[in-house]
Each structure stands twice: as structure tokens, then as C-alpha cells.
């Protein structure tokens, strides 16, 4: 981590605009505070891409864009890196943040940053229009930095996913795990699925009922996992009638990640503010 941070800082010194790729379903949870510290130290403008916007709640995404676009030196847009038309807009958006870098003598230098598995490599490949970065639905696919010249006027640096040493808030860890930014070895899937079920019960109960075909009124989060297990016949082999909660948890997580449950956001500016306030004053909870 120390080596990756040092390398990122060195590259940022040669960069005009930082492109930070976030997961639109949990933008703040997926924003590495070290990236903010590095770019603010260098006074670099930032294009924040709320990627996977096609999987996120459009109302929540709109609120996040308003939140970020009020911040100095920041431009935020919602995209899906898998859509070539969305990705094609990125260089011109960066150019607007650094209008003085626009010729062969002073080419625009852009740096893609973000945590693992938010879509950085997909964006890189879309911009270059060929496969130059490995892509996969697992964290930490990109292993090293690379530089690509998009044109004589534009240069792009791609960086490995950069996590920070300690996730301060448990809910952030659960959101990242649910969205597959943290590997399965780092967390218990049943705990993550229980957290996800709680969010779905509070904000998207109709999606749960529609997908799994049972009433959610009166249920708590563990009850949702149990309901999924019963509906999908998740039983532990060799143990008659015992529900396989791990399997049911994976079903719920997979349905969320793929968008089968609908367009879902795990946080909004309002829920983020409430969470931070509760964390700052635990006795008031």
C-alpha cells in the first residue's frame, strides 16, 4: 500500500486532471480518502465518474451529482463505462477542467484512479477502443500503472485499484463488500447479505417482494435471508431441513450486483450525513 501510494503521488505530479471512478450505488463509501488527500495536496481538479449508474437508483444519483458539483475543483457525471458513448465524453470533460493543456507542446495528462472493481479498466479500454487493461468481476485485476497516448494532445495513466489501510465505518465496509470491491476472503457473505437486506427492507421492500415472492412486512434482515433460503430451496446437504444461509446470502448478493433486484443505491447524501452524525455522537443513538 505504501509503495502504491508513493507511485500514485509521483504520477499525480505529472498529471493535470484526476479521473476518480466511483460506484454510483455507494459513491462516498467507494471514494478512497487517500485519493482526495493526494489530489488536494497537488491542487489537481477532479472529474468524478459515478460509474454503474445504470444499476443505481436514479434519484439517489441525481442527489449525489448535486452534492459533488458544489465542491470546488470537482465535476461529477453519471456514466456506465460499458457504454462507449458515455466513455467517449470523458476526455472533453477533463479538457474543460484544464483548458490550458490543449496542444502538442502541452498535452492534457489524465490519471484514472479509484478503488478495486469500480470500472477503471473498462473505462480505459473504452477510451483506447481496444483491450489494453484486464477486466474482471473481481477486485484488484489491474496490477500496475500504464500510460497510453490517446492522441498527440491527450495522455492517459491507468492505476491499480487503491484501497486505504483501515475502513473507518463498518457500513462502508459492508457496502463495498456487497458491491464486490472487497474480495470474498475478507468478509463473511452472510453478514454482508444481512446488511444489504436491511437496506433493501428500509428503502426497496417492493423489489424484495417482487423478486422472491414473499411478503416482507414484519421481517427483519435475517428473516429476509431465511425467506430467500426457503423460496429457493437452499438446504444444507446431509442435514435434513436445515436451511443453507450461506447459499441464500450469495443469491441475494448476486441479484443485487447484477441489477436483477432493480436500480438500487446503498447510500444517499442524507443517509451519509446521518451515518457520520451517529458515528460522531454514539451516545445519541
pLDDT in tens, 190-249: 999 999 999 999 999 999 999 999 999 999 999 999 999 999 999 998 888 899 999 999
Given the C-alpha cell 472529474, which residue does it identify? 47
Q: Looking at the structure, tell me whether residues 70 and 43 fall in a common domain.
A: yes
pLDDT, residue 146, reads 82
Q: Looking at the structure, tell me whether residues 29 and 141 fall in a common domain.
A: yes
Q: Looking at the structure, tell me whether residues 147 and 226 fall in a common domain.
A: no
CB 182 within 8 A of CB 164: no
| Last-in-domain residue among 158, 184, 205 | 158
pLDDT, residue 134, reads 54
Q: Looking at the structure, tell me whether residues 139 and 186 fall in a common domain.
A: no
Confirm whether 50 is domain-assigned.
Answer: yes
Q: Looking at the structure, tell me whether residues 92 and 186 fall in a common domain.
A: no
Closest CA to 223 of 241, 189, 200, 256: 200
pLDDT, residue 181, reads 87
Confirm whether 154 is domain-assigned.
Answer: yes
State whether residue 33 is helix, strand or coil. helix
pLDDT, residue 186, reads 60
Q: Looking at the structure, tell me whether residues 209 and 266 fall in a common domain.
A: yes
| Res 3 pLDDT > 80 | no
Q: Looking at the structure, tell me whether residues 230 and 128 fall in a common domain.
A: no
Grade residue 16 by pLDDT with cuts at 50, 70 and 90.
very high
For position 19, which CATH number holds? 3.40.50.300
Confirm whether 127 is domain-assigned.
Answer: yes
The mean per-residue pLDDT over the stretch 51-62 comes to 98
CB 133 within 8 A of CB 38: no
Grade residue 141 by pLDDT with cuts at 50, 70 and 90.
very low
pLDDT, residue 140, reads 45
Confirm whether 163 is domain-assigned.
Answer: no
Q: Looking at the structure, tell me whether residues 53 and 31 fall in a common domain.
A: yes
Q: Looking at the structure, tell me whether residues 11 and 150 fall in a common domain.
A: yes
| Last-in-domain residue among 158, 192, 224 | 158
Count how many domains the chain has. Answer: 2
| Residue of 117 and 20 predicted with greater confidence | 20
232 lies in which domain range? 170-280
Q: Looking at the structure, tell me whether residues 102 and 137 fall in a common domain.
A: yes
Start-to-end CA span in the chain (Å): 35
Among residues of the chain, what percentage have pLDDT more than 70? 93
Q: How many CA atoms lie within 13 A of 280 on its CB side?
A: 6
C-alpha cell at 263: 436500480
Q: Looking at the structure, tell me whether residues 202 and 126 fall in a common domain.
A: no
Confirm whether 164 is domain-assigned.
Answer: no
Question: DSSP letter at 261?
Answer: T
For position 220, which CATH number holds? 1.10.1580.10
| Res 5 pLDDT > 90 | no
Mean pLDDT, the chain, whole residue set? 90
Residue 177 has phi, psi (to 5 degrees) of: -70, -40
pLDDT, residue 128, reads 84
| Res 56 pLDDT > 90 | yes
pLDDT, residue 133, reads 57
Task: Pick the range with the lowest mean pLDDT from 33-47, 150-164, 227-241, 268-282.
Answer: 150-164
| Last-in-domain residue among 137, 158, 179 | 158
Q: What is the pTM of this model?
A: 0.90
Amino acid at each position: 500500500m505504501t509503495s502504491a501510494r508513493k507511485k500514485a503521488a509521483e504520477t499525480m505530479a505529472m498529471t493535470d486532471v484526476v479521473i476518480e471512478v466511483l460506484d454510483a450505488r455507494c459513491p462516498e463509501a467507494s471514494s478512497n480518502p487517500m485519493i482526495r488527500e493526494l489530489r488536494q495536496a497537488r491542487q489537481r481538479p477532479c472529474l468524478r465518474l459515478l460509474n454503474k449508474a445504470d444499476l443505481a437508483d436514479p434519484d439517489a444519483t441525481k442527489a449525489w451529482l448535486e452534492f459533488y458539483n458544489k465542491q470546488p475543483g470537482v465535476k461529477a457525471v453519471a456514466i456506465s463505462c460499458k457504454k462507449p458513448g458515455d466513455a467517449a465524453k470523458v476526455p472533453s470533460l477533463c479538457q474543460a477542467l484544464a483548458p490550458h493543456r490543449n496542444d502538442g507542446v502541452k498535452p492534457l495528462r489524465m490519471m484514472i484512479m479509484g478503488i478495486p472493481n469500480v470500472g477503471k479498466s473498462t473505462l480505459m479500454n473504452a477510451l483506447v477502443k481496444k483491450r489494453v487493461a484486464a477486466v474482471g468481476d473481481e477486485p484488484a485485476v489491474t496490477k500496475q500503472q500504464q500510460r497510453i497516448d490517446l492522441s498527440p494532445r491527450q495522455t492517459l495513466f491507468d492505476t491499480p485499484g487503491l484501497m486505504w489501510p483501515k475502513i473507518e465505518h463498518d457500513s462502508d465496509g459492508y457496502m463495498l463488500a456487497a458491491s464486490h470491491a472487497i474480495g470474498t476472503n475478507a468478509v463473511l457473505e452472510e453478514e454482508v447479505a444481512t446488511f444489504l437486506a436491511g437496506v433493501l427492507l428500509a428503502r426497496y421492500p417492493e423489489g424484495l417482494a417482487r423478486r422472491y415472492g414473499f411478503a416482507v412486512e414484519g421481517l427483519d434482515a435475517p428473516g429476509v435471508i431465511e425467506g430467500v433460503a426457503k423460496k429457493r430451496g437452499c438446504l444444507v446437504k446431509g442435514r435434513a431441513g436445515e436451511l443453507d444461509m450461506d447459499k441464500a446470502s450469495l443469491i441475494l448478493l448476486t441479484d443485487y450486483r447484477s441489477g436483477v433486484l432493480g436500480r438500487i443505491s446503498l447510500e444517499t447524501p442524507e443517509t451519509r450525513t446521518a451515518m457520520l452524525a451517529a458515528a460522531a455522537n454514539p451516545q445519541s443513538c
